[in-house]
Amino acid sequence: MLIGSIRLVLLLALAGVSLSACEKPYIYDPQEYNREQANYGRDLKDRTELKICYLTRNTTPQDILAMAEAECEKFNKSARYLNSQVGECPIGTPTLASFVCERR
């Protein structure tokens, strides 16, 4: 009984460590896999808004800002932070940071 409990605890701890290693910030687009969308599967030609999902435990605000700046730079724009919220992103990366990509 004790050995079974120890195994269960170790398995849960290993699963937790494995999951936390995969929780990297990413650009969130709820329509990314919508095949009905006119520009499905095509590269963006312009970006006006940017949403990034992340886990505050693994990511600093500077990391998110650098990621937003790099993405907006692809369109010769700079990122301006709007706000953060919880609830729109999946549970593994629950915090959403919203930015606007603006012309310089």
What's the rounded Cα separation, in Å, for the pair 96 and 23? 13
71 Ramachandran zone, left/alpha/beta (phi>0; psi -120 to 50): alpha
Helices (H), ranges, 1-104: 2-21, 61-73
Task: Find out whether 77 and 101 touch, Cβ atoms under 8 Å.
Answer: yes
Mean pLDDT by 10 residues, the chain (104 residues): 62 50 86 87 92 95 98 98 95 96 93
Q: Please tell me the predicted confidence (pLDDT) of residue 8.
A: 58
Fold of 23-30+46-104: Gyrase A; domain 2 (3.30.1360)
**Residues 6 or more apart in contact with residue 22 via CB below 8 angstroms:** 92
Terminal CA-to-CA distance of the chain, rounded, Å? 65
Q: What is the pTM of this model?
A: 0.76
